[in-house]
Homo-oligomer: A and B are copies of this chain.
């Protein structure tokens, strides 16, 4: 067993681990930092692949892809790494398929739902934003209603708050593509923390200016990790080297790997999803609360599909390429619904036409159990119901089921079910002696996103430096990972304000009837 002595070992070469190593090296080039990665590539939950394109070959993202100006950490890093961004294409007709599977189209920022469903949705958004303001992202378990909100599922809250099938399904669909979960699988408290970490629900779910789906990275998001490798040093990033154990004593930490190497260092940064920690033997064991968190924080379910085309026929038809869906009817009896919960234009900055679709939550699991041929057939069929028969004439179809990705086994993010956060979440990002914890799940700004991964990586770098080189740490460094989000000035979202005003009277009327049952009886739910 070969032994390497170094200053810091980083476990995981995803964006968070690479950001930690990168920040350490930027602060002190003389630090010997080793990154150990179980997979044969860097990038973690980002992966960029070449695909057949209209112009020959081009690149697309099979994992995380979107960034926005509301995400300061990733935006600053992209600039530092000289990576360029381009806006998500949104112009034209959009589709919505909820409740009774009817496909409706719309062009404005206001979803194509019945007036009642729109009121319902707006009320839900207001309510979530009201509640989440009580939830401090740093210590959500301390908020006044923590126990109450952690005891119910997001679905229970939806059933208590919303009336219309269409609006409920819009929220369910958002859960599937945003977090890879069913709303029945997540605690309300966790959901509110997640919304708080994004400074509001609309930042999370929209693709307009200053939201999370505003831009994509030219050439693909895996480059973020790849470009940081040159600063860290390629010889210091060891691929195909899963960690088997982490042993701490009074003087330092020993990290052992499956291929049989041993690393002796001062500090370790674990930058893997929480469940992956359960596959590492810690000596001494991690604290009980931390172990429990690892047991109760599974990754969601997500299959991402990229389809390249010769022409952007949807644009030619005046369509944006966007569709939000409950999946629509299923062509296969083994699946509750059609596969896709959301579709977007994915045309590359070089102009190579493509669409991107997501299968999320239980739909991703059900469809993963079908054959690749059936799945592709049904995905393309669903696309054709929005964009016509041209959707069937593909150049290349690629899909990535993150559930079978080695060492990750799920996507895009780990979520807590009920009855866990209030008891165990305090240990989420707390260092355990010489072991520190990064990964987007530990972020307080944009938890679950690339930006959160960067923030969490920086935080652990500063934690480690504060211990081994306190002279190198400034107040600015601490500010780098501050939990308070300073969102760049957001333009008033005019259409929604208009909608809110227009519908104000209806809502007031609705509320005057005071009893929900009475309102419900007036509504034929969409």
Chain A residues close to B by CB (< 8 Å): 150-153, 155-156, 159, 181-185, 275, 278-279, 285, 287-289, 291-292, 295-296, 298-299, 301, 362, 365-366, 368-369, 403-404, 409-410, 417-420, 423-424
Contacts and interface: CB of A to CB of B under 8 A. Distances in A.
B423 A288 contact: no
A131 B410 CA distance: 34
A155 B151 CA distance: 7
A424 B301 CA distance: 13
A205 B419 CA distance: 22
Contact of A365 (B156, B292, B404, B409): B292
A52 to B, nearest CB: 28
Nearest to A182: B419
Given A279-B279, A292-B301, 20 more contacts: A151-B156, A151-B159, A151-B184, A152-B156, A153-B153, A155-B418, A183-B419, A184-B419, A185-B418, A285-B404, A287-B369, A288-B369, A288-B403, A289-B365, A292-B365, A292-B403, A295-B410, A362-B419, A362-B423, A418-B418
A152 B151 contact: no
B419 A185 contact: yes
A417 B152 CA distance: 11
A247 B314 CA distance: 46
A423 B366 contact: yes
A365 B424 contact: yes
Nearest to A187: B184
A423 B365 CA distance: 9
Contact of A288 (B292, B299, B365): B365
Nearest to A160: B156
A296 to B, nearest CB: 6
Contacts of A295: 275, 298-299, 409-410
Contacts of A418: 153, 155, 184-185, 417-418
